[in-house]
Chains A and B, each alone.
Chain A
Amino acid sequence: MSAVKVAVVGAGVIGLSTAVCVAEALPYCSVTILSEKFSPDTTSDGAAGILIPEVFPDIPLERQRRWFKETFNHLLGIVGSSEAPEAGVFLSSGCYLYKDVPSDPKPYWTDHVFGFRTMTDQEMRRFPDYKFGQAFTSIKCECLRYLPWLEKRFRKAGGQIKREKVTDLQQLISSYDVIVNCSGIGSRHLVGDKGVYPVRGQIFKVYAPWLKNFIIGEDGDKMAYMYPGIDYVTVGGTRQMNDWRLEVNKGDSEGIMERCCQLEPSMRKAQVLEEWVGLRPGRRNPRVEREWLQAEERQVLLVHNYGHGGCGITLSWGTALDAVGLVRKSLHEQPPYSKL
C-alpha cells in the first residue's frame, strides 16, 4: 500500500508544527511542506513568542484550553531538556499591568501558566500609572530557533521540503491525497477567506541584557510590551486592523519607545538593533476544520489550520494535534482511492 501523500502549505510555526505532528503521528503518510517563505522570513520569526492566549468568541472554551495546554506542556518538556537552547524555548516571568481592572481578571489560561497571582502594592509602586497587575511565569518560544529545530525534527521523521509558492490549491490535488492549509494571512487569497485580515504589529529589537522579566502594559489600543529574549528584547507594539503596510512607521516607533521607556526607564539606555513589522493573521476565530475537495475521480481531504492572530506560537502545538486528529479521523472514514 503506497503512502498517503500529504502536502502542508506554509512553513511558519503552524505549518511546521502541523507537518511534524503528521509525520510523527501518522507513519503511513509521506509529508511535504510547500512554502514560499521559510525561517527567518516568516511572520512567526518576528513574534516575541510568549505563550499568552486570547480568548476567542465562538470556539468552545474546552477546545481552546486544550489547544493552549497541549502547547504549553509540549514546550515545557523542551524547557526541561538539553535541547532548550537549540529550540529557543525557556521559562519567562513577568507582569501584565492594567490601568483599569480587566473585565475578566482570570481567563482560562491563568490555571496553566505558573504562579499566576495579583501583584502586591509593593510591586505596583514601580508602576504608578497602573492600577492593577498580575504576575506569572510562562514560556517563551523563539521561532528564529524553534522553526529550524522543528524542520530538523520534520526531516528526521522523513519529511520533504519544497520551496515554492502555492497560489491555487487546485495545483496540488493531482499530486496529493491530503492538503493541510497552514498559510496564515495567505489564506485570505488562497482559500478566499475574507474573514482573514492583517493585524499589523511593529516592534523594536533592542539590546538590553539586564532586562530579565517581561512587562506588558495594557492601555486601550496603546500597547506597550517588552519581552526579554535570548539575543534581544522585543519592544512593541501596535495592533492595527486591516493594515497591510510592511514598512516601519516612524510615528509608531516613537509611540512605542515613549510608552515602554515610561514603564521601564532603563530602556532609555538600550541599543536599538532593528525594527520589524509583521502582519498577524487575524480572524474572529482560528479555523481548524476539514473539508473535501473534489478532484476528478476522487476526493482530496483539505484540513485548515490558520487564522491564529497573535496566538500562533501560543496555540501552535495544540492546533497542530487537533489538525492531525482531523486527518487521522478523515482518512479512517474515507481512505483515499488508490491510483490506478
Chain B
Amino acid sequence: MPQYAEFGADFSITLYTSIVILLLCDFCVIAAMRVAVIGAGVIGLSTAQSIYEHYHEKVSPLTIEVYADVFTPLTTSDGAAGLWQPYLYDEGNVQETKWNKETFDYLLSFHSSSESVKMGIFLQSGYNLCTERVPEPSFKDTVLGFRELTQRELDVFPGYSYGWFNTALMVEGKTYLPWLMNWLSQRGIKFYHRKITSFKELADGGADVIINCTGVRSGALQPDPELTPGRGQIIKVDAPWIKHWILTHNFTTGVYNSPYIIPGSRLVTVGGIFQRGNWSEQDNSIDHKKVWEEACELEPSLKHAQIVQDWTGLRPVRSKVRLERETMRSGSNTFEVIHNYGHGGYGLTIHRGCAEEAARLFGEILQQKGHQTKPKSRL
C-alpha cells in the first residue's frame, strides 16, 4: 500500500491516510456522509441540530442539508402557541412521555442563560380546567409546582369544577425556529427551498441518509393511513393583561376542541378547534365565532380586546409519533430513511426528545455501515 503514496495522487493519499487512520483509531470515521433533512419545522431543524451535535466530530465531512417547501415563519410550528404541554394522558406511550420530559428539561436548562430571549423560551404559569375530577396528567412531575386548584380559584372559572395549576415553559416557534436556523447555518448546514417529491430524488442526488420530518404532508412521500390532519384555527389577540395560559378539557368533544387561551410574548393565542381529516388551510368564519365566543365566556376580559389575526394550521396527527428507520432501494443502491413525523399537537413539546432519538438511530446506521463509531452516550 505505501507504494501508492509515491505517485502523490490525491486519491491514493486519501486512501493511504484513511487506512492508516482506520487501523490506528477506533473512534474516527473518515468517510463523507450526506444527510438530507426534509422539513424545516421544529422537528426538521432540531433533528439536524442533534445529528450535528453528536456526529460532526465523528464523521468528516458530515454534510447536512435541509430541504423544505416552507420555512419560518410559514411552518406549522410557527403558528403553534408554543406552550410545552403534552396531551393529558399518554395511554401507555411511555416513550413519548420520556421524550416530552427530555424536551422540558432541555429547554429549562436554557431558561436561565443569556440565550433564553433569543430562543423564545420563557416560563409561564396557568390553569388546566376540567368539568369533573380526573386522574393526574402524565406531565405532573415534569412541570414546576404542579398542584390541584383550590375552590376559590375554580370560582374564577364558572363551569369548571376541577383542575390543576403549574408553571410550564413556553417556546415560541416564530423565535425558536429562526434561532435554530441561525445555529445551523453558522455550522455550515445549508438550506434549500424546494419541494421534495420522493425520497429517491434525494438518494439519487447523493444523500446517504434522509431524515423525513415532513409533518402532516408525509403521506405525499410515503402513504401512511395513520397520519391525518388535525386542523386547528386560532385567533391572535392583543391582551397583554392576561399572564396565565388557560386550557380547558372536555372529554366528550376531545383534545383541543375546548377553548384555550395562551399568552405569548406579544399576542395571546386563542383557540379550541381540532378537526380530524380536514385539510382546509383557510380560516373559517364559523370556527372563528366558536373560538371567540367560548374564549370570551371563559375569560370575560377578552370581550374588548383587539383581534389581530386568524390563522389555520394542520397538526400532523398520528396514533403515535413515527420515529423509526427504513432502508430503501433506488436501483441497485440502498439508502436509509429516518422517519420523524406525526407529532400531532405536541411537536414543540416533544421535539428535542425525538431529535435525540433520531440522532441515536443515525448512530445505528453509522455502526451498521461498518464505521467504527460510538455515538456519545446520553446522560
A85-B303 Cα distance, complex, nearest whole Å: 10
Whether A115 lies near B150 (C-beta < 8 A) is yes
Within 8 A of B (CB), among A29-80: 76, 79-80
Most buried by A among B125, B152, B242, B266: B125
User: CB of A211 within 8 A of chain B?
Assistant: yes
A137-B116 Cα distance, complex, nearest whole Å: 24
**Stretch among A116-124, A238-246, A301-309 lining the B interface:** A116-124
Within the complex, the shortest CB–CB distance from A100 to chain B, in Å, comes to 22
Whether A126 lies near B112 (C-beta < 8 A) is yes
Whether B147 lies near A117 (C-beta < 8 A) is yes
Identify whether the interface residues of B are mostly helix, strand, loop, or mixed. mixed
**Closest A residue to B158 using CB positions:** A80
**Can you report 16 A-B residue pairs in the complex whose CB atoms are below 8 A from each other?**
A79-B156, A80-B156, A82-B302, A84-B241, A85-B304, A90-B241, A93-B167, A93-B243, A115-B147, A123-B167, A209-B265, A211-B122, A212-B263, A213-B124, A265-B112, A265-B113
Listed in ascending order, the chain A residues whose CB lies under 8 Å from chain B are: 76, 79-82, 84-86, 88-93, 114-115, 117, 119-120, 122-123, 126, 135, 137, 209-213, 228, 230-231, 265-266, 268-269
Identify whether the interface residues of A are mostly helix, strand, loop, or mixed. mixed
Whether B240 lies near A212 (C-beta < 8 A) is no
Other A-B contacts than A90-B243, A212-B124, A266-B117, 12 sampled, CB-CB below 8 A, are: A82-B300, A84-B241, A92-B243, A93-B125, A122-B144, A123-B145, A126-B112, A137-B153, A209-B266, A210-B117, A212-B244, A213-B124
Contact-residue bracket for chain B:
35 or more
A265-B112 Cα distance, complex, nearest whole Å: 6
For residue A228, which residues in chain B have a CB less than 8 angstroms away from its CB? 243
Whether A230 lies near B240 (C-beta < 8 A) is yes
For residue B116, which residues in chain A have a CB less than 8 angstroms away from its CB? 265-266
Whether A85 lies near B301 (C-beta < 8 A) is yes
Whether B149 lies near A91 (C-beta < 8 A) is no
User: CB of B239 within 8 A of chain A?
Assistant: yes
Within 8 A of A (CB), among B270-329: 300-305
A54-B244 Cα distance, complex, nearest whole Å: 26
User: CB of B123 within 8 A of chain A?
Assistant: yes
B124, B144, B240, B303: which contacts A82 (Cβ < 8 A)? Answer: B303
Listed in ascending order, the chain B residues whose CB lies under 8 Å from chain A are: 111-114, 116-118, 122-125, 144-145, 147, 149-150, 152-153, 156, 165, 167, 170, 239-244, 263, 265-266, 300-305
B145, B241, B243, B244: which contacts A135 (Cβ < 8 A)? Answer: B145
**Closest A residue to B301 using CB positions:** A84
Within the complex, the shortest CB–CB distance from A103 to chain B, in Å, comes to 24
Within the complex, the shortest CB–CB distance from A95 to chain B, in Å, comes to 9
**Closest A residue to B117 using CB positions:** A269
| CB-CB under 8 A for A231 and B145, given A84-B300, A211-B122, A212-B125 | no
Whether B122 lies near A79 (C-beta < 8 A) is no
For residue B113, which residues in chain A have a CB less than 8 angstroms away from its CB? 265
Within the complex, the shortest CB–CB distance from B266 to chain A, in Å, comes to 6
Whether A85 lies near B239 (C-beta < 8 A) is yes
Whether B241 lies near A230 (C-beta < 8 A) is yes
| CB-CB under 8 A for A212 and B122, given A84-B241, A122-B144, A265-B112 | yes
Nearest 8 CB-CB pairs, A to B? A84-B301, A82-B303, A210-B122, A90-B241, A269-B117, A210-B265, A212-B124, A93-B125
**Closest B residue to A119 using CB positions:** B145
Most buried by A among B116, B165, B242, B243: B243
**Closest A residue to B146 using CB positions:** A120
**Closest B residue to A211 using CB positions:** B122
Within the complex, the shortest CB–CB distance from B160 to chain A, in Å, comes to 13
Most buried by A among B149, B240, B241, B303: B241
Whether A213 lies near B123 (C-beta < 8 A) is yes
A76-B301 Cα distance, complex, nearest whole Å: 12
Within the complex, the shortest CB–CB distance from A239 to chain B, in Å, comes to 25
Within the complex, the shortest CB–CB distance from B300 to chain A, in Å, comes to 5
| CB-CB under 8 A for A120 and B145, given A79-B156, A115-B150, A212-B125 | yes
A119-B125 Cα distance, complex, nearest whole Å: 14
Within the complex, the shortest CB–CB distance from A127 to chain B, in Å, comes to 9
Within the complex, the shortest CB–CB distance from B126 to chain A, in Å, comes to 9
For residue B165, which residues in chain A have a CB less than 8 angstroms away from its CB? 115, 137
For residue A91, which residues in chain B have a CB less than 8 angstroms away from its CB? 156, 243-244
A89-B152 Cα distance, complex, nearest whole Å: 18
Within the complex, the shortest CB–CB distance from A298 to chain B, in Å, comes to 47
For residue B122, which residues in chain A have a CB less than 8 angstroms away from its CB? 210-212, 266
Whether A265 lies near B114 (C-beta < 8 A) is yes
Whether A93 lies near B244 (C-beta < 8 A) is yes
Within the complex, the shortest CB–CB distance from B209 to chain A, in Å, comes to 37
Whether A80 lies near B300 (C-beta < 8 A) is yes
For residue A126, which residues in chain B have a CB less than 8 angstroms away from its CB? 111-112
For residue A81, which residues in chain B have a CB less than 8 angstroms away from its CB? 300-301
